[in-house]
Chain A
Amino acid sequence: MIGAGRAREKSGVGSFEEEWAQLKRDAVAMRLAGAGQGGAGTPDVKGSRSAWTTAGNAVEGLAGDVRRAQGALDRGQQGLVTGGGVESAAAQSDLYQSWKTYLDMVAGRCGRLGGGLERAGSDLFLTDKGVLGLFDAIKTHDEDTPAVGGQGR
């Protein structure tokens, strides 16, 4: 377990540490009680379900952080004259548009992944296979395209 004092100071996740500490205690207690490994879709295993949910909440929280950064980026653009004969100003404006879009995509990914994690924890009827399918779908959604960076390995 990571000592709370040792990790770097982080924003946005609140009482994440305590929640996890409790979670881990629950999980250990469960294993000692012979409840087995559990996994999503086994509604009697409370620990593993809340593990999914907590991770899901944290990842969705990151989407909020991305949005806040977008706000800062947007405020930074105010007062900038685009065009008007300075090429760098036009280039900066294009650059900004590309990053605004990219951050939308990152926030979207956080939302999808966070939502998937939460659903894995909350949907009592989801089987392991069903959870796997959830993440496969997310994976396919975010595959590489060849345009700028190229289809890397």
Chain B
Amino acid sequence: MIRVVDVEALKALKPHEFEEAALGYRTTSDMAAQAKDALEQRITPQLRGALNGEAADAAVAQLRELTKDFHYVQVECGLIGTALNAFAADVRPAKTKLEQALSDADAHRFAVGANGSVSYPAAGQNPGGPPTAPGSANGTLSEQARALQRQAGNFDPNPNYAIAQDIANRIAEALKEATDADQKWAPQLRGLKVDDDLTVSDGDWADVQKDGEGVREAGRHYSDSLPQPPKDGSPKDNAAWWKGLDPGQQQAWTSLHPDVVGALDGVPATVRDEANRIVLDESRGQYRTELDAMPKPPANEWTWINAGGYASKVHTDEWMDWYKAHGERYEHLTNSLKGMESIQKRFDAVGQNDLPEAYLLGYSAEGNGRAIVANGNPDTAVHQAVYVPGTTANLGSIGGDIDRMGNVWRVADGKSGGQPVSTITWLGYDAPQDIVKDSPFSHYADDGAPAFNRFMDGLDASHTGDSEPHRTAIGHSYGTTLIGSAARQGTLNADDVILAGSPGVQVPKAEQMDVPKGHVWNLEADGDPVPDIGRFGHGGTDWDGPWIIPSDEEFGANQMVTGNVHGHSEYWDADSTSLLNQGYVVAGRGGDAELKAPPKHWEHMR
């Protein structure tokens, strides 16, 4: 049963009062964001740093629960504020239309009833007929009825009839529009009522996501009326767009489209972080809820069959049935959740081992996933470093890549003479997932490189310091190929480049890496097979020969000492010379890095 908004109700309804209510929610959301940050960045780490033991653990656990409460308040109140503003925007035209119609009625001294009918007095002459009569017009929305009314108006000797009918029709339109808006928003607002307990569960976050979808759907008209981010805009354009929004519009964008705001290069790091954390918590709630509802993999996964006299281990039929129905999704959910936990672990580690606060600058659980995690705020840092992981990198394995940049942060921060440092793990591309089947191909690097260039330009656009930051690009393995591709395809916005275990960077010379001469730094550890295997796929070619990689003398990179790290995966081990040398470069002190002669590849390859 639809409850129609009548004339009195629409007259009494004040859109700006809803906007003022929205402001209250925005203030609450901002308060909660600050409280959440205070808990995560200061209160909890500092208690953790000073105290040990079971009692301290119990206290920290409670502080984390409180942090979740505040994040929940922040996101939901942001959404409510946006919903109230959208409702106000939707009813305002109806209200204006009604006021206009009422004022016209008033000018003609017509009376308007609660249901919108318009009564008019007798007027005019009716030569040869009875005197004109007073009457009452009921509004209609039907075009057909209106056509008939217009005809009748032409014959009616009382000129008031046509005027009153027009007013009544406009009132009917206004009431219809107001009723539509009311019917659309009332259930949304009711749906935003808060949980009745303080434990913010997965189910709660899954609900937040549904709330967001509901408000997004209902608020489409409002959302479209907001200034839109520039289409294919540069990071500078994006930064200008964000700056041009008023606080209410900023909140609307973050609340309605956190995925868009979180991914926009050039938008301030704190804003991207706030947006991406909404997406993170919502997707975690959604994934866990989905996983809980999925049948568990059968316990009897394996069986033995006798094939040609030999016993072979095979999957049971039961397990295969389960796998066919759920296997792929199950793996995606569990793997993604693992990555989400790694990111959360980093947030919880603020203050531990001196780690600074963390910022989530990019995030998505779709496909292989995306995660861009910063140690320290890049917008206020003097030294920035951005690390591109290589083959097999995905959301599930992000933890190891986050730890590597934590290690670089610690060393660089110690060498920077007090200048703030920010180190960033950038999983912003689809890395090859199979070292044999995928890694030899260039398209993963070529597809990801433009996104990397945009991200690096974005760090410039959102930086707030007085002077330009010093920026280092760090690549591992296939990640170095991507950085090379970024320099080849566009302009790599970096001052230094560190390449570790590089299979080749598509260009044959250090000077093509878009950094000043002497600022390409290479690391090849003993026993790392990748450079020699990779060169035939990713090496650069020029007059000095084919397949040149950064470890070759002809390439012209500084060869840094790696110390006792071995193989392809130890370049960021704590206390290693390899890590120390990277720390020097990141802190702008590459001159202090220890160098060696290039390894003699061609010799031992013959």
- Name A residues whose Cβ lies closer than 8 Å to a Cβ of B: 1-3, 5-8, 10-13, 16-17, 20, 23-24, 27, 37, 39-40, 47-48, 51-52, 54-55, 58-59, 62, 65-66, 68-70, 72-81, 84-92, 94-96, 98-99, 101-103, 105-106, 109-110, 113, 116-117, 120, 128, 131-132, 135-136, 138-139, 142-145, 147-153
Contact = CB atoms under 8 A, between A and B. Distances in A.
B380 A87 contact: no
Nearest to B31: A69
B123 interface: no
B9 A74 contact: no
B182 A88 contact: yes
Given A7-B357, A76-B22, A152-B285, 14 more contacts: A7-B42, A10-B34, A20-B46, A24-B50, A39-B55, A52-B59, A59-B66, A68-B31, A95-B192, A99-B77, A117-B47, A128-B55, A132-B58, A142-B199
B492 interface: no
B197 A144 contact: yes
B197 A92 contact: no
A72 B28 contact: yes
Interface string B1-35: 00101101110111001101111110110011011
Interface of B: 3, 5-6, 8-10, 12-14, 17-18, 20-25, 27-28, 31-32, 34-35, 37-39, 41-43, 45-47, 49-56, 58-59, 61-63, 65-66, 69-70, 73, 77, 80, 84, 87, 178, 181-183, 185-187, 189-190, 192-204, 207, 270, 285, 288, 292, 350-351, 354, 356-357, 376-377, 380-381, 418, 420
Contact of B270 (A8, A13, A101, A103): A8
Contacts of B9: 84-86
Contact of B380 (A6, A66, A150): A6
B9 to A, nearest CB: 3
17 contacts: A6-B356, A13-B43, A23-B46, A23-B50, A39-B51, A51-B51, A62-B39, A76-B20, A85-B3, A86-B12, A88-B186, A91-B190, A92-B189, A95-B80, A95-B189, A110-B66, A149-B195
A11 B34 contact: yes
A148 B196 contact: yes
Residue among A13, A55, A74 with the highest chain B CB neighbour number at 10 A: A55
A75 B420 CA distance: 41
B42 A106 contact: no
Nearest to B359: A8
| Chain A interface SS verdict (over half) | helix
Contact of A13 (B42, B62, B65, B350): B42
| Chain B interface SS verdict (over half) | helix
Contact of A102 (B17, B45, B186, B195): B195
A11 B32 CA distance: 11
A68 B35 CA distance: 12
Nearest to B45: A2
Given A65-B31, A69-B32, A81 B12 contact: yes
B14 A92 contact: no
A132 B207 CA distance: 33
B197 A138 contact: no
Contacts of B292: 153
A48 B51 contact: yes
B195 A75 contact: no
A37 B53 contact: yes
A73 B12 CA distance: 21
Contact of B46 (A51, A73, A87, A110): A51
Contacts of B28: 69-70, 72-73, 99, 103
